[in-house]
A and B are shown apart, each in its own frame.
Chain A
Amino acid sequence: MNTTRNTQFTPNLDARHRRGFIWRILFMAALMTALVVLVALMFSIANDSFGYVVVINKIDPERLALNVINERLLTMPNTQSSADDTALAESITSDPNGIGFFGSAAYQQNRDALKPVAVDGITPDRETAVSQEYPLTRPLYLYTTGDILAQNQAANVFLNYLITHANEATEAAGYLPASEADLAQAQQNWLQANPTLPIPPGTWPAINPDGIDGRLTISGSSTLYPLTEQMLAQLAEAGFRAEVSNENAGSTAGLAAFCRGEADIAAASRPIQSDEIELCRENGRFPQEYPIAADALTIVANPALAFLDNVSQAELAQIFAEAETWQEINPAWPAAPIHRYIPGADSGTLDFFAQQVIQQELAALPTDDLVRILAANISVGRGRALEREQRFYQDKLVFDNPTAWNEACSQPKGARPSGCTAPPRTQAEIYDLVLQEVVQPDVVETFPLYDTLLKGAAIQHQMAAKYPNGSLQFRSWLTKDFITDPQSSTPEAAGVRTAILGSLWVIAITILFSFPVGVGAAVYLEEYAADNKLNRILQTNINNLAGVPSIIYGMLGLAIFVRALEMITSGALFGLVDSTASANGRTILSAGFTLGLLILPLIIINAQEAIRAVPTSLRQASLALGATQWQTTWHHVLPAALPGILTGAILAVSRALGETAPLVIIGASTFIVVDPSGPFSKFTTLPIQIYQWTARPQAEFRNIAAAAIIVLLVLLLALNATAVYLRNKYSTRM
């Protein structure tokens, strides 16, 4: 008997377990799908919000800073400048307080009459230059392109010969040899331009120049001219037959000729600048850099200055850019004035000194210098507008004239410019202004986070070739400025402050309208309404309204709130029309009411569910004590239902916060830079802003749209967290 029973039941049980197991796997798969979707969503947002960008500045900020420093160096008291190194050397020789600097070649010519000064304890010579110990060593460059080397055999062989033999010749010509790293770079660049040479890797092929002919044009730096001449002479001896033109034109002219396509090789005593790279690019040339020798910027002093054997870089900066007497720098030194002899403003040597020794970035420049940069680079009209927005100095005007200023500021409050009362701009604010108005950084290419992380090296290579004057930076589009700045038509400057404020205003009106009305309706339907036909129709309607597409609510809002009730929603009835906005009925109030209507059915249905879930025994207990219906509802039913009501309200409000369609219909502004000032203001909201940005053609708008989505999500989470906190605080069940 027992056995029969067991054989009847056991297989059945196994099948039931199996079925349960399959369902469990299916449910888990459903959960996993949801998780994967969530992760994918997060990633796709982060993918566009962060990543590499290529930025090209209209004006190099380093150049701006350098100009300011050069200016400061040249205008120091007791300072003379000359483009002629020999003249400088003579002046220093004849002045017992003279000090100056120039290239090592010039020092070699005048070494008997001058005293070299060690920097940081290191004297400039061959060894310290090759090892790059001497801090003021700078490379000297040849520039050409891979294409030229591939097509012009003469240029290719010339460069090969130079890289092979330059270091042997440099000292004789008064140069220092190129550092090992520089030379390795030059070799690598040349090898890249000659990829087909059959040589084992890591070796350097010295090509025999015998019999090579063709044409070769060199143009550029006077510093490098003696070196190139000497090399060409050696080549000619070795049988190099090419027709060569070597022009001593100066670094800037040489590079310009090269970039215009007039020279095959440019010689320069300074690195190529971004505007020159841009010029080259326009002519289809992508310059390659060949550091083939080095120059040590030498500090020289009159031999009478016996105490001056060695200075630190900090002291050097003081000597040329701050102090008037020697004593100011070091109390042990004499009180005699410093007499400075430095190269002229157009000199690469002065730039190098300023860059290397003074080392001041644009962001660190004092207010006066920044304002001077602004004044030199923007129109007076623009400057005046900026000044009226906010002054640069408390006590003086830079762009405006006092009469016009006083006139503008004597206007009544509201009409007069904000600059009349606002505190002057800070150094950081002026720096931002210089960036915006003068440097004008422009994002020319952006990469998603995925590519940035996985193909970073490849991107770096590609972009270095495509935009030699651009800088590749990792950029987070979500910054503090993005949140605090208003909308702008340039994506780099655009922010979401207006949209955040608009969203908060609209959602506040929505909550204030729909929560009390919705909960009230739910209480009536659940606690008071008789079960009759009318109330059943009402209930059915409410249930159906929850499923009506939101755009239909938008049309309802347009017809009722924007048009029919314009007197109220525009504020005209209360005399509160915002004169700058002229929003008609398309105000925050209309939007709040429209979204309120949209979520009203949701709130009612959820509140009804919550109220229905309150046990009848609780109501009976209250009523049996002689409580009225209202006392029962207020003291027992609503508190017990509150968690459920709030949960429903959170979901509904989250939906309202993310709504776009109805707001588009009722006329939310898509471009607005003025913060909303009240319920009668024009407005935009975050979803509208995101929608509008994604519709723009420029790629960067997609990035800031993604960043705005993050802001929206965080805002949503913050609102929900607040609601959950309130729910837990006020509905503590005993």
Chain B
Amino acid sequence: MTNNTNGQTAIQAHNMNVYYGSFRAVENINLNVAPRQITALIGPSGCGKSTVLRSFNRMNDLIPSARVEGEVLYHGANIYAPDVDPVEIRRRIGMVFQKPNPFPKSIYDNVAWGAKINGYKGDMDELVESSLRQAALWDEVKDKLDQSGFSLSGGQQQRLCIARTLAVKPDIILMDEPTSALDPVATLKIEDLIQILKQDYTIIIVTHNMQQAARASDFTAFFNMNEERAGYLVEFNKTEDLFTNPKNELTERYITGRFG
């Protein structure tokens, strides 16, 4: 239940517990994420899927009271080990947020900035173009690269944020409900984009939308919370199997819409 089928691992949570102060938000998570696959995290509100996602690139460090126990193994090393610099982890494990949050800069600078501060030495124009092409945004913005990132529509802004993440060449992209603020057309575009990106990147996506998980992911992890409101992993399997043949009764009730 805790292992994906092909045995390869991009990132792995091992007995992971996350606390906010004295409150345990997620409990004893064991999860193996397969490389170059899309893994969806689903579950009812408050079950800790976002917390788990943010633990993968140490974004929880920004919350002063947050604390992680257990291990998150990336290339076999625990990213919470004392000698690990979270800045390096975050460059390799990028993140796209729920609401599009471009920088108050030009479209070009939005993409180029991350690369620049990470000491990118190559041709910046080329990097910006290829990142925007990968994010399927190039054709829409190639004539207005010097305009503000805010001048784009919501869906375009979210793709700009994806392009920005791609520009620092990460291994893994974490997406925290990336389409929840978008209309259906923009949502579909992002989903199509994710399908293309999976050829080069490992993608972990938190979603509230079960159709989206069923449509767009290869693996699905279903979380629920226990009596102490701590999130735990109920079932993890190939998306196909989880939706057609759930092993756990909770999973079945959730995906058929009987709770959650």
- The digit string for A43-54, where 1 denotes a CB below 8 A from any CB of B, is 000000000000
Query: What is the chain A residue whose CB lies nearest that of B105?
Result: A734
- Contact, CB under 8 Å: A620 / B113: no
Q: Which of A615, A620, A631, A640 contacts B59 (CB 8 A)?
A: A620
- Contact, CB under 8 Å: B95 / A624: yes
Query: What is the chain A residue whose CB lies nearest that of B92?
Result: A626
Query: What is the chain A residue whose CB lies nearest that of B161?
Result: A621
The answer to the question of A150 belonging to the interface, with a C-beta cut-off of 8 Å to chain B, is no
Q: Which of B97, B117, B148 contacts A621 (CB 8 A)?
A: B97
Q: Would A621 and B103 be within 8 Å (CB), given that A627-B114, A635-B117 are in contact?
A: yes
Which of chain A's residues have a CB closer than 8 A to the CB of B37? none
Query: What is the chain B residue whose CB lies nearest that of A629?
Result: B87
Which of chain A's residues have a CB closer than 8 A to the CB of B122? none
- Contact, CB under 8 Å: B103 / A618: yes
The answer to the question of B165 belonging to the interface, with a C-beta cut-off of 8 Å to chain A, is yes
8 A Cβ contacts from B104-148 to A: 104-106, 113-114, 117-118, 148
What distance in Å separates the Cβ of A628 from its nearest Cβ neighbour in chain B?
A: 5
Q: Would A619 and B62 be within 8 Å (CB), given that A626-B87, A627-B87 are in contact?
A: yes
Assembled-state Cα–Cα distance A628/B104 (Å): 18
Which of chain B's residues have a CB closer than 8 A to the CB of A640? 104
Which of chain B's residues have a CB closer than 8 A to the CB of A628? 87, 117
Which of chain B's residues have a CB closer than 8 A to the CB of A618? 101, 103-104
- Contact, CB under 8 Å: B114 / A626: yes
Query: What is the chain B residue whose CB lies nearest that of A640?
Result: B104
Query: What is the chain A residue whose CB lies nearest that of B90?
Result: A626
- Contact, CB under 8 Å: A627 / B148: no
- Contact, CB under 8 Å: A626 / B103: no
8 A Cβ contacts from B167-202 to A: 168
- Contact, CB under 8 Å: B118 / A625: yes
Which of chain B's residues have a CB closer than 8 A to the CB of A401? none
Which of chain A's residues have a CB closer than 8 A to the CB of B87? 623, 626-628
The answer to the question of B91 belonging to the interface, with a C-beta cut-off of 8 Å to chain A, is yes
The answer to the question of B64 belonging to the interface, with a C-beta cut-off of 8 Å to chain A, is yes
Most B CB contacts (10 A, CB to CB) among A615, A617, A625, A733 go to A625
Query: What is the chain B residue whose CB lies nearest that of A626?
Result: B91
Which of chain A's residues have a CB closer than 8 A to the CB of B106? 734
Chain A contact residues, majority secondary structure: helix
Which of chain A's residues have a CB closer than 8 A to the CB of B97? 617, 620-621, 624
- Contact, CB under 8 Å: B117 / A624: no
The answer to the question of A531 belonging to the interface, with a C-beta cut-off of 8 Å to chain B, is yes
Assembled-state Cα–Cα distance A327/B104 (Å): 85
- Contact, CB under 8 Å: B103 / A624: no
What distance in Å separates the Cβ of A615 from its nearest Cβ neighbour in chain B?
A: 8
The answer to the question of B94 belonging to the interface, with a C-beta cut-off of 8 Å to chain A, is yes
Query: What is the chain B residue whose CB lies nearest that of A632?
Result: B117
What distance in Å separates the Cβ of A723 from its nearest Cβ neighbour in chain B?
A: 21
Q: Would A624 and B90 be within 8 Å (CB), given that A617-B101, A631-B117, A734-B104 are in contact?
A: yes
Assembled-state Cα–Cα distance A619/B103 (Å): 10
- Contact, CB under 8 Å: B64 / A624: no
- Contact, CB under 8 Å: B99 / A617: yes
The answer to the question of B150 belonging to the interface, with a C-beta cut-off of 8 Å to chain A, is yes
The answer to the question of B149 belonging to the interface, with a C-beta cut-off of 8 Å to chain A, is yes
Assembled-state Cα–Cα distance A677/B103 (Å): 46
- Contact, CB under 8 Å: B62 / A625: no
What distance in Å separates the Cβ of A710 from its nearest Cβ neighbour in chain B?
A: 40
Q: Which of B57, B92, B103, B150 contacts A622 (CB 8 A)?
A: B103
- The digit string for A607-619, where 1 denotes a CB below 8 A from any CB of B, is 0000000010111
- Contact, CB under 8 Å: B94 / A624: yes
The answer to the question of A281 belonging to the interface, with a C-beta cut-off of 8 Å to chain B, is no
Most A CB contacts (10 A, CB to CB) among B88, B97, B101, B102 go to B101
Which of chain A's residues have a CB closer than 8 A to the CB of B150? 734
Assembled-state Cα–Cα distance A618/B165 (Å): 14
What distance in Å separates the Cβ of B151 from its nearest Cβ neighbour in chain A?
A: 8
- Contact, CB under 8 Å: B114 / A734: no
What distance in Å separates the Cβ of B206 from its nearest Cβ neighbour in chain A?
A: 14
The answer to the question of B164 belonging to the interface, with a C-beta cut-off of 8 Å to chain A, is yes
8 A Cβ contacts from B67-95 to A: 87-88, 90-92, 94-95
Query: What is the chain B residue whose CB lies nearest that of A622?
Result: B103
Query: What is the chain B residue whose CB lies nearest that of A627?
Result: B117
What distance in Å separates the Cβ of A391 from its nearest Cβ neighbour in chain B?
A: 62
What distance in Å separates the Cβ of A526 from its nearest Cβ neighbour in chain B?
A: 13
Query: What is the chain A residue whose CB lies nearest that of B91?
Result: A626
- Contact, CB under 8 Å: A734 / B101: no
Query: What is the chain A residue whose CB lies nearest that of B94?
Result: A624
What distance in Å separates the Cβ of A114 from its nearest Cβ neighbour in chain B?
A: 94
Which of chain B's residues have a CB closer than 8 A to the CB of A624? 57, 59, 90, 94-95, 97, 165
The answer to the question of A530 belonging to the interface, with a C-beta cut-off of 8 Å to chain B, is yes
**Can you name 14 extra interface pairs (CB under 8 A) apart from A617-B97, A624-B90?**
A615-B101, A621-B101, A621-B103, A621-B161, A624-B57, A624-B95, A625-B91, A625-B94, A625-B117, A625-B118, A625-B165, A628-B117, A635-B117, A734-B150
Residues on A lying within 8 angstroms of B by beta carbon are 530-531, 615, 617-628, 631, 635-636, 639-640, 733-734
Residues on B lying within 8 angstroms of A by beta carbon are 57, 59, 62, 64, 87-88, 90-92, 94-95, 97, 99, 101-106, 113-114, 117-118, 148-150, 161, 164-165, 168
15 pairs, CB–CB < 8 Å, chain A vs chain B: A617-B101, A620-B101, A621-B164, A623-B59, A624-B90, A625-B90, A626-B87, A627-B117, A628-B87, A640-B104, A733-B104, A734-B103, A734-B105, A734-B148, A734-B150
Give me the 3 closest cross-chain CB pairs, A-B, nearest first. Answer: A626-B91, A625-B114, A734-B148
